[in-house]
Amino acid sequence: MVEGLYAGQFRPSKHERLERAQILNLVKIWLYLICFVETRVYTESMLQLSASLLNKSVLSLRTGTPIATITRAIINPDNLKIEGFYCEDRYDKKELILLYQDIRDLLPQGFVVNDHDVLAEPDELVRLKKVLELDFDLIGKQVVTLSKEKVGKVSDYATETETMYIQKIYASQSILKNLTGGTLSIDRTQVNEITPQKVIINELTKKAPSPVAAPA
């Protein structure tokens, strides 16, 4: 500590100022986490549309700074779960993977993780090899019933962010199929099978459900 005559002349170096700024960012994230966890409730409002999970920053708790950017989801078609996310490393622009279990929390600013070392190379994730090779994308898949009735195409999906299970699929319907050309909400319990080309669901009720808007 600088005391006495020279106390007023002390000025922190550039490195010290940067370090203090990083600590301040870290404190802000921790305070946000504390408030967020204490008030969190399991409701449908926790469902997030696909686009709201992409192009997010990956935030390091250790440094309080972004370390990568989310680019696309890794979906397991066997259980409709997001196993993780491809992301672009902030430093060398490499494509790495963030596993869902390494996500500490999801904030408006981005995904919170412990530090950069949780990001893995695709070749390192032997357990996910088959899922990665499938390169499955839910958007655009044809939706049909067990009796092969065409329902529409997947236009979006909603994920429960605590477990990363996709809870709802939204199928866009043609104007011929639906006079309003709206979106049909399909709960995960209605899904019977998923193939590389289509999503097969249980039969629809005789009375066609009203089109619903996807959650904001």
Enumerate the β-bridge partners of residue 191.
201
Q: What is the pTM of this model?
A: 0.73
Asked if residue 216 is part of any domain, the answer here is no
Residue-wise pLDDT for 64-93, tens only, equals: 899 999 999 999 999 999 999 999 999 999
Cβ-count burial of 108 within 10 angstroms (0-12 exposed, 13-18 middle, 19+ buried)? exposed
Instruction: Give Cα 163 to chain centroid, integer Å.
Output: 11
Judge if 158 and 178 occupy the same domain: yes
CATH label of the domain that carries residue 70: 2.30.30.240
CA distance 100 to 136: 17
Q: What is the pLDDT of residue 165?
A: 97
Q: What is the pLDDT of residue 34?
A: 54
CA distance 181 to 145: 19
Which structural domain range is residue 109 located in? 44-134
Judge if 151 and 109 occupy the same domain: no
Q: Which of 27, 161, 23 is nearest to 104 (CA)?
A: 161
Q: What is the pLDDT of residue 205?
A: 75
Judge if 125 and 152 occupy the same domain: no
Judge if 91 and 119 occupy the same domain: yes
* Amino acid, single-letter form, for residue 191: V
Judge if 50 and 130 occupy the same domain: yes
Question: What stretches in the chain show pLDDT beneath 70?
Answer: 1-12, 14-18, 20, 23-45, 174-181, 206-216
CA distance 216 to 204: 25
Asked if residue 35 is part of any domain, the answer here is no
